[in-house]
Structure 1
Amino acid sequence: MRDITELPHDLFLVVISYLSPRACVRCRRVSRQWLAAFTSDGTSRLLLRRNFPRCREIRLATAAAAAAVLTTLGPLSSIVSNNNLRAELACMIAQQESTPGKTWAPAFADVARRYYHLRQGRPRIIEKLNLPDKASPGGFSFRGVATWNRFLRLDEKTANFHYPDPIWSYSQEDGVLVYPSAEACCGHAPAPNDPHEQGQVQGPHPQSQYDGYVYQVLDLATKQQVPVPFDIRQKHIRRVRLAQGVLVFEWAEAHPYHQLNDREVVHRHFVTVFDVVRVPTPAATTTEGRRSDQLTWEVTFRCEFKLHFLGLPLNRFDRFFSAHTSTHWAVYFWQPNRSLYQDDPIEQLAVWDISSPSSYRPSEDPRGDKGPPPKRTPHWSAVGLWSGVNGTHNDGDGAAAADPGADPKTRARISPASAPIGPRVIRRMAWRELDFYGLRQRATPQLRSLALDDRNLYVVEEEHRWADGQHSWLTPPRVHFVWCTGIPIVPVPTSGYPGAAPGDDAQTPSAASAVVDGPVVGPVWVDACGANGDVNMSFCSRVASSANADDAASGSAFGSWPPPLAGALEVASPEELVKQLKRRPGAGGSSATAAWPWALVSDGPPGGFVAEPPARWLGLAPCWRHEDFPYLTVSEMVDFAAGVRVTARHCFMLETLSVHVRPAISVKGAAAEVDDDDEDGGSKISSRKATKKKKRSKIELLACGHIAGDERWIVGEDDSGHITIVRF
């Protein structure tokens, strides 16, 4: 034997298991014989699973293999409810069938390169996207919602405590960035190899007529770019957010609607909702000349409704916070009381059901006479319960019974035949209810953000020892204090819950879509955390435990809850994985399964699964904000499935002029790797945490105090008005 490649295959695998992934890729350059051995599909897949078991490629391949098995039980649409995930899995299954045995060699090289740069904290590629001015001559206007008048002050030094909303949004679930393109704002975005741009075609450009479609959907993996059919002309964008395949624009009309008082005018505000869906397409060519993944993106209008029934002034005093899922949208309003008696601010909260599409646009109907007639359902409330008020549109002839003397269980029900079409308010909460749940902000608000899941609304609040400004507490806390209040808010379906009426069949789509339209009764969740500290400088017990490798199996990493499914990666085949999934209980919350890009949990009949993104449970207080007190974590990016976390912190008490940002990259859950260039001769890096500093991150990523991304890249904004994409 003259070469290790001539060893029996099992012995060859044992030998190369001692090599680092980077060394395995380098071995391909030795000779043709080594190239064939180290690029074989089986060897590359084994190396990938052994070194990077939680990488995206392995998780997608495992999900695709299991989905291929599950299709024997029914169509893929009945197994995976997430449209974008279903399209990606179907495309991956088709690619594996068309090119068998040619997938894992390039995948292993890409992943090895990615995690090498992650470990080094060194960007492989830095890309820039031009953003238009927030008040550009092209008609783009972004008037973000004002933040609280609170900042951090210590010994006459100040730092930001709140940051304004960015004008872009990123969805980790789909790897899609939505942003306003400066090129599109100037007239039109030139396409690659455009003959009009190159002078090969005479005459006017077909896109020379400015259509106002400034926002673009950019797939960062394939670099495909699709315009969003949202005309920004004569609009002030207040906020943009993309989550769960749903794109939401919150905006105001450019011209005022009526005069509020001698000094203020009111602008009508609206919410426009789009579906961002991955669809198959013929083979295309990206800007780099490479074939795409046979998939593209389609942005379609879903619905539109008024954000506030009277409108809001465009000032720095009236504020609102919002959050949304694929089916619901929640908003909290805080407005100063303009009476002469200096009363407490006006506060209210509303939750909308946006699951039903509707072509009616109230922004195009100022008089309100073109829409369907409104239908109102019963209004009643009790102490500790939210009142259900539905001032909605309904194209049907039937309305819910409104007999005040009827039994509450009877009059709280909407029949499927009379269920409203289009967006509708399902809950409103005013001063009394806010007081009851301890959410009334008054003149010293602590509200940080809102969050929604499939059943509950979460209100996140925060206060700091060094907070100062008009809206800070008069008696600040001793430490940095964060807490979260969760309240059941979304009605449950009439089928499949205790007390459902006889005849409600879970298999009937109309019955499954009906909901109990009354107060939602349930326990209130309150979770708090303060940076108390001890002699070991562990300022947060949760964060300290998440750094312990022994606690990883219990789900404490990154504060995720419930714990992940143990041993999901050790299954012998996709069929065995399917059996494990079927043995899991059908009820409960999300689960951060390491083997899947999304946790597929049993729901309904055997073989039916729905997709849930693994993430930190929203009911936990954001104690990661003070995990290294007195440092303050400005923003974080966590890819829970991959075990990759990027945090951006600052500690202004150590600076004399401005904030000092100390970003850190933590790779958790990846296998240990020996780096050939390490000064210590190849000592193993910790398999649970690897922290590196990046000097340039302050000016490259954190101008708006927000970062996003996943294990492949980080997205942020620089000081020059550009979106920065750092690829690893």
Structure 2
Amino acid sequence: MRDITELPHDLFLIIISYLPPPTCVRCRSVSRRWHAAFTDEDIALLLLRWNFPRCRELRLATAAASLLSATPHSAVALPNNLKEELQHVTQEPRTPWSGTFADVARRYHNLNQAKCRDAEKLEMATCDREHGSSFSFWGVAPWNRYLRLNEKTSNFHYPDPQWWYSQEDGVLVYPAASAQQHSEGYVYHVVDLSSGYETSVPFDVRSKHIRRVRLAKGVLLFEWAEANPYHQLNDREVVHRHFVTLFDAVRTKNTWSVVFRSEFKLHFLGLPLNRSDRFFSAHTSQLYAVYFWQPNRSLYQDDPIEQLAVWDISTPSSYRPSEDPTGDKRPGFARTPSTPPPTGLWNGPSKRYKPAVDLETPRRASLAAATAGPQVVRRMAWRELDFYGLRQRATPRLRSLALDDRNLYVVEEEHRWADGQHSSLSPPRVHLVRCTGIPVIPIPGGNPLAPNLATKSTTDLLSGASSSEPVISTIIDGPVMGPVWQDECGSDGDVNMNFCRRVADANGLDQSNTTGVVWPPPLIGALNVASQENLVASLRPRPPSASATGWPWVLAQDTITTLSSRWPGWAPCWRHEDFPYLTVGEMVDFAAGIRITARHCFMLETLSVHIRPAISVKGQNRQKSEVKRDRNESERRQEVEFPDNMWSQLLGKGCIFGDERWLIGEDEKERITVLRF
């Protein structure tokens, strides 16, 4: 025997199983025998499974194989873009596993070293309103809060970026500088970072102020305002009509198309373009939620005006209210003279209200046309927000909104060192985050427990509920009665050195205490409470699920389960996981177990990679102490820091995106930085 390649196959596999992946790749250049052995397809696939069982390439191959054997019902339930990608994987010639292993080994080597193999810069369109630029991004102002300690200050809020990235689809939407002079005003482009395919979004940015752009669940959303004011608010301010335009980002093999879905008016009267009136929003493929906070312009310095609404955006519609100022073309039901005009902030009325049609002559329209397009399904004003404990008043705590299929989640945050106009008058002991979940669709029938639910946690409900109290009551005029989810987390200890006891790992699991976590989350919007026992049973903790393949959508026999993501109902305790550092932003590839965090503590800034190794059990007849020791060793996460200059290259807007293949951010010169691993 001259070398290890002449050993029996099983012995050869045992030896190379101890070699690091980069060494396995370098062994290909030793000789022809070694090259043939280490590029063998079966051996390369084994090395890939041994070293990188959660890599994207293996997840795609596993999911594609599951798709071939899935029932038609399961295949239909998959997101369209994912199903198209899996079908493309099954139809196109597969890349040899030897080449795949080399690429993945290089990727994870770079991740382990916190370095990139390539850095790409994308120039964005310039926003110069004074010189008549065709592109105008007028972002929503963040809260006037910052951190102050011993005469040192640091950012607590960052402005919204002009771009967005969808990890589910692997596409980036941004205003391309090369398209700024486009004759049709199509400045925004969608880029597939994997294939390099780029296409324009059929959205004319001329005569518009873009307030926010977001891409999620295959739905591209633009919140924008007209360039010209709509009416005079007072002697000093004018308001602009605001709209939301939705597009579907559709994958076809390695190409993308952007198709108009619908458009609706964001606010009935409009909003001023200033740094005082603010709104926060979130959306899925089915729902859109928005919260408004506006200073009260009365002479008596009343509390700010607060409104919250949820829209059903699942139905497409060709109607564009921005092109129909009088509302003559709006589809609607036949209306009789006795029908009053619509009420509410989003549909009217006002002193300027004028019916779009003659009420004496009913307008006919089909049921499909009348119900098509976005529809408001939930509205909340002062009283409802007070009921849920979400009224912000003059010292707002709101950080963001989140949605799932049935519920709306409001994330709030307070900090001991917060200062500024909107800082709290009674700050927490150190750092506090809170998430409140409320149903999107109201539950028929009232629940006397609901006023207490708004201020109690799940544990309090389970311990303090009494079986003698009635649950069902008649429908009342006021806040919707029903279960409310509330999760709260704060850093524990003193201000010298403080760590969160409940830090979520890359899979979103709470390692310190899972007894108070409900998983799956309670079906708040679909729960039909028939008795108090049912209510308590619905809130009883259940263990979290696990994904066998690590793909966010797991193909089972007849069901599709959404896994490998952090449930929005959990309070974002990762914000204070390493107090006094504040986690500004994070990029988490839940399926791959890769997490990159950006943390700062005033002048100290760090950008780190966290990699969770795969858990492997090499035997079944070991002692419990040995199993526990191996498990603790495997759960330890590796952390390595990027060079210091990477903060300025990626954290210009305080947010980072990406997955295991790349990291995306914005530098100080308003350019998008893409680090490829």
Q: Same fold (TM over 0.5)?
A: yes
- Any idea what the Cα deviations from partners look like across 1:610-633, whole Å, max 9, x if unmatched? 363521111111111111111111
Query: Could you tell me how far 1:563 is from its partner in structure 2?
Result: 7.6
Per the alignment, do residues 277 and 300 of structure 1 end up closer, same or farther by CA in structure 2, a change over 3 Å counting? same
Q: Mapping of 1:592-603 within 5 angstroms?
A: 593=547, 595-600=549-554
- How big is the shift at 1:396? 8.1
State the match for 2:406 in structure 1.
Answer: 455
- Report whether the alignment pairs 1:651 with 2:601: yes
Match of 1:223 in 2: 196
Shift of 1:138: 4.0
For 2:81, the equivalent position in structure 1 comes to: 84
> Identity of aligned pairs, percent?
63
- Local SS of the residue matching 1:600: strand
Match of 2:470 in 1: none
Residues 232-271 of structure 1: matches in 2 within 5 Å? Answer: 232-271=205-244
Equivalent-residue separation in structure 2 for 1:249 and 1:13 (angstroms): 54
2:649 aligned residue (692, 700, 704):
700
Which digits, 9 at most, give the CA deviation of each residue in 1:324-372, with x for residues without a partner? Answer: 0000100000001111111111000000000000000000011111111
- 1:718 corresponds to which residue? 667
Relative to structure 1, is the Cα distance of residues 57 and 524 closer, same or farther in structure 2, using a 3 angstrom cutoff? same
Report the AA paired with residue 143 of structure 2. W
Cα 1:716–1:555 change in 2 (3 A) is: same
CA–CA separation in structure 1 for the residues paired with 2:168 and 2:363 = 34
Decide which of 356, 359, 378 is 1:427's aligned counterpart: 378
Q: Hey, what's the Cα distance between the residues in 2 that align with 1:42 and 1:391? A: 67
- The alignment of Structure 1 onto Structure 2 pairs a total of residues equal to 586
Q: Does the 8 Å CA contact 1:388/1:426 hold for their aligned counterparts?
A: no
Change in Cα spacing, 1:610 to 1:444, as seen in structure 2 (3 Å) is same
Q: CA, structure 1 residues 555+375, in 2 after alignment: closer, same or farther (shift >3 Å)?
A: farther
Deviations 1:62-120 (A, max 9, x none): 111111122xx337742x4200110111011112xx45xx5311111111000000001
Among 153, 175, 189, the alignment partner of 2:148 is 153
- Within 2, Cα distance between the matches of 1:706 and 1:65? 35
CA contact (8 A) 1:132 1:721 kept: no
- Are the aligned partners of 2:519 and 2:543 in contact in 1 as well (CA < 8 Å)? no
2:492 maps to which of 501, 525, 532: 532
| Contact 1:562 1:591 survives alignment (8 Å) | no
Q: Tell me, yes or no, if the aligned pair for 1:258 and 1:265 is still in contact at 8 Å.
A: yes
Please report how far the alpha carbon of residue 3 of structure 1 lies from its aligned counterpart in structure 2 after TM superposition: 2.5
> Offset at 1:388?
13
Distance 1:622-1:526 versus aligned 2 partners, 3 A rule: same
8 Å contact from structure 1 (residues 391, 425) kept in 2: no
**How far off is 1:688 after superposition?**
3.5
- The aligned residue for residue 676 of structure 1 is none
Match of 1:316 in 2: 275
Aligned residue in 2 for 1:571: none
In structure 1, C-alpha distance between the alignment counterparts of 2:432 and 2:226, rounded to whole Å: 38
Moved more, 241-250 or 685-694: 685-694
Cα gap change, 1:471 to 1:325, in 2 (>3 Å): same
Tell me the SS of whatever aligns to 1:66: helix
Q: Who is 2:28 aligned against? A: 28
CA 1:130/1:670 → structure 2, altered by over 3 Å: closer, same or farther?
farther
1:522 corresponding residue in structure 2? 482
The correspondence for 1:174, drawn from 151, 169, 175, is 169
Residue 609 of structure 1, CA deviation: 3.3
Residue among 415, 430, 437 paired with 1:479: 430
Aligned amino acid, residue 30 of structure 1: V
- Aligned mates of 1:699, 1:307 — CA distance in 2: 35
CA 1:613–1:546: 2 relative to 1, 3 Å:
closer
Q: What is the distance in 1 between the residues matched to 2:294 and 2:431?
A: 26
SS in 1 for 2:378: strand
Specify the alignment match of 1:192 in structure 2: none
> Aligned with 1:663: secondary structure?
strand
2:588 counterpart of 1:634: no
Q: Is the 8 A contact 2:614 2:634 kept in 1?
A: no
User: Which residue of structure 2 lines up, in the alignment, with residue 49 of structure 1?
Assistant: 49
1:272 aligned partner, one-letter code? T
- Aligned residue type for 1:358: S
1:554-573 pair list within 5 angstroms: 556=511
Tell whether the 8 Å contact from 2:185 to 2:204 is kept in structure 1 after alignment: yes
Match of 1:273 in 2: 246
Q: Partners of 1:219 and 1:707 in 2: how far apart?
A: 17
Q: State the alpha-carbon separation in 1 of the partners of residues 68 and 505 from structure 2.
A: 35
Equivalent-residue separation in structure 1 for 2:8 and 2:614 (angstroms): 29
The one-letter code matched in structure 2 to 1:94 is Q
Give the drift of 1:664: 1.1
Distance 1:26 1:395, change over 3 A: farther
Corresponding position: 1:662 with 2:606: yes
Distance 2:30 2:513 in 1: 41
**Contact persistence 1:592–1:599 (CA under 8 A):** no
With normalisation by structure 1, the TM-score equals 0.75
Alpha-carbon distance between aligned partners in 1 of 2:105 and 2:298, rounded to the nearest angstrom: 63
Question: How far is the alpha carbon of 1:248 from its aligned partner?
Answer: 0.4
Give the structure 1 partner of residue 459 of structure 2. Answer: none
Look up the equivalent residue of 1:68 and give its one-letter code: L
Deviation, structure 1 residue 158: 1.2
SS of 2:486's equivalent in the other structure is: strand
Query: Which residue of 2 is the match for residue 357 of structure 1?
Result: 316
Q: CA deviation at 1:538?
A: 5.3
Equivalent residues in 2 for 1:339-418, closer than 5 Å: 339-373=298-332
TM-score, normalising length: structure 2: 0.81
How far apart, in 2, do the equivalents of 1:433 and 1:25 lie? 61
Shift of 1:600: 2.3
**Which residue of 690, 694, 698 corresponds with 2:638?**
690
1:332 corresponds, among 284, 287, 291, to 291
Distance (Å, rounded) in 2 between the aligned partners of 1:557 and 1:298:
45
| Displacement after TM superposition at 1:390 (Å) | 8.9
2:175–2:188 Cα contact (<8 Å) kept? yes
Q: For 1:175 and 1:594, locate their aligned partners in 2 and report how far apart those are by CA, in whole Å.
A: 22
Q: CA deviation at 1:58?
A: 1.0
Alignment of 1:62-73 (within 5 A): 62-70=62-70, 73=71
Structure 1 residues 721 and 596: CA distance shift in structure 2, 3 A: same
The 1:533–1:555 alpha-carbon spacing in structure 2 relative to 1, beyond 3 Å, is closer
For the 8 Å contact 1:713–1:727, the answer to whether it is kept is yes
Aligned pair in 2 of structure 1 residues 87, 591: CA closer, same or farther (>3 Å)?
farther
* Shift in alpha-carbon separation, 1:52–1:470, aligned structure 2, 3 A: same
1:440-496 per-residue CA deviation (whole Å, 9 max, x = no partner) reads 001111100000000100000011101111111112221111111011114799xxx
d(CA) in 2 for partners of 1:242, 1:553: 22
Please say which of residues 158-167 and 528-537 is displaced more in the overlay. 528-537
Sort the Cα spacing of 1:519 and 1:474 in 2 relative to 1 into closer, same or farther, 3 A.
closer
* CA shift for structure 1 position 133: 2.0
Specify whether residues 375 and 391 from structure 1 end up closer, same or farther in structure 2 by C-alpha distance, changes over 3 A only. Answer: farther
CA contact (8 A) 2:402 2:409 kept: yes
User: What secondary structure is seen at the aligned counterpart in 2 of 1:116?
Assistant: helix
Distance 1:563 1:436 in 2: 25
Distance 1:354 1:64, change over 3 A: same
AA in 2 matched with 1:264 = E
Distance verdict in 2 for CA 1:93–1:556, change over 3 Å: farther
> How many Å separate the matches in 1 of 2:641 and 2:67?
40
